[in-house]
Chain A
Amino acid sequence: SQQGEEDPQALSIQEGENATMNCSYKTSINNLQWYRQNSGRGLVHLILIRSNEREKHSGRLRVTLDTSKKSSSLLITASRAADTASYFCATEVPYSGAGSYQLTFGKGTKLSVIP
């Protein structure tokens, strides 16, 4: 079953604006990751934040993690048309026996950046 759930399902903004996407999850995690998928392509890893971290930056990306609320947000600043893609959160959770962990993916947020 899917652990993470992104919100909103779709987001449309003008170029130059900031885009914020949220992810909520149900159980304790080791880490949370964000991925981007351009139409018809494979997923590309953006950023990983561990359960003991609260905020992480990578270029124009800022990720926050609130383990008490079981939620994360991805902020893309000064968006560009090239940021148009689907964005997925993935949580590392224990799976099927001792010491085994898996990434479980949400359904994604579809971001459209209008030039």
Chain B
Amino acid sequence: NAGVTQTPKFQVLKTGQSMTLQCAQDMNHEYMSWYRQDPGMGLRLIHYSVGAGITDQGEVPNGYNVSRSTTEDFPLRLLSAAPSQTSVYFCASSSRQGNEQFFGPGTRLTVL
């Protein structure tokens, strides 16, 4: 099993550009989530999904959009990138909310 995979590993964007961070898992987990990690801030929840077709906002959802058309994939879209979105983004999955979460390797995003 590959576990949780994320692409790309690194990305540089200009202010106002849009892009999609990809996340996929092969463990048949219902629950998936996106976090951002900033220095000194720990991890903050952006959006989460409890199953295909169901998504909800986390602590810091503004400027991000998600969809969950399949159990395996949970892409995160940046609608119009801003320098404040410079961060490391992690996708995670688990068999249910609150269980052990499996994290992807992260995407390091820089917005100029």
Q: Is the CB of A42 within 8 A of B105?
A: yes
Q: Does A80 contact B (CB under 8 A)?
A: no
**A-B Cβ contacts below 8 A, count:** 57
Distance, CA A105 to CA B35, complexed state (A): 10
Q: Does A33 contact B (CB under 8 A)?
A: yes
Residues of A within 8 A of B4 (CB): 42
Residues of B within 8 A of A78 (CB): none
Give the number of chain A interface residues (Cβ < 8 Å). Answer: 25
Distance, CA A90 to CA B101, complexed state (A): 10
Q: Does B58 contact A (CB under 8 A)?
A: yes
Instruction: Using known A-B contacts A31-B98, A42-B103, determine if residue A102 contacts B43 with beta carbons closer than 8 Å.
Output: no
Name which of A11-19, A43-51, A61-69 contacts chain B. A43-51
Q: Is the CB of B41 within 8 A of A101?
A: no
Residue A43 contacts which of B40, B50, B56, B103 (CB distance < 8 angstroms)? B103
Interface residues of B in 55-91 (CB under 8 A from A): 56-59, 90
Chain A positions near chain B (C-beta within 8 angstroms): 1-2, 30-31, 33, 40-45, 48, 88, 90, 92, 96, 100-108
Give 7 new A-B contacts, CB below 8 A, not counting A92-B97, A100-B50.
A41-B106, A43-B90, A90-B101, A100-B97, A104-B45, A105-B44, A107-B40
